[in-house]
Amino acid sequence: MERSTRVSVFESDKPSEIQLIKSKLDDAQITNAVENSYLTFTTTPTATSLKIMVDLEEESKAFEIIDAYLQQSEKQ
C-alpha cells in the first residue's frame, strides 16, 4: 500500500475562510482534509488554527487556486 505525503497549503483561525478554500479545492478535484491544532503561544487555551492538508503531488495546483482566491479577495 502506497502512503502519500500530505502538506499544509493554507492556515487560518476563521472556519468560514477554511470552508471557502476547501470548497474551491473540492471543485478542482483536489483531495484535501482540514486539521486543527492548538496554538501554543497564545494565552487562550481554546484558540485553534485550522489547516488544509493536500497530497504533496497536488500542492502546486492547490497553491495556484489559493493564490487566485487571495488576490481576488484583496481587490474587494
Q: Which residues contact 49 (CB under 8 A, 6 or more apart)?
A: 11, 12, 13, 36, 37, 38, 39
**pTM of the model as a whole:** 0.81
The model's confidence at residue 73, banded by pLDDT at 50, 70 and 90, is confident
pLDDT at 8: 95
Higher pLDDT, 3 or 15: 15
Please tell me the distance from the alpha carbon of residue 74 to that of residue 45, in angstroms, as a whole number: 31
pLDDT at 45: 57
The range of the structural domain enclosing residue 29 comes to 7-74
- Report pLDDT digits (tens) over 13-58: 899 999 999 999 999 999 999 998 665 555 555 567 899 999 999 9
Q: Could you give phi then psi for residue 45, rounded to 5 degrees?
A: -65, -15
Query: Is 1 among the domain residues?
Result: no
Structural domains counted in the chain = 1
Q: Where are the alpha helices (DSSP H) in 1-76?
A: 15-27, 59-75
- CATH number where 24 lies: 3.30.70.790
Query: Is 2 among the domain residues?
Result: no
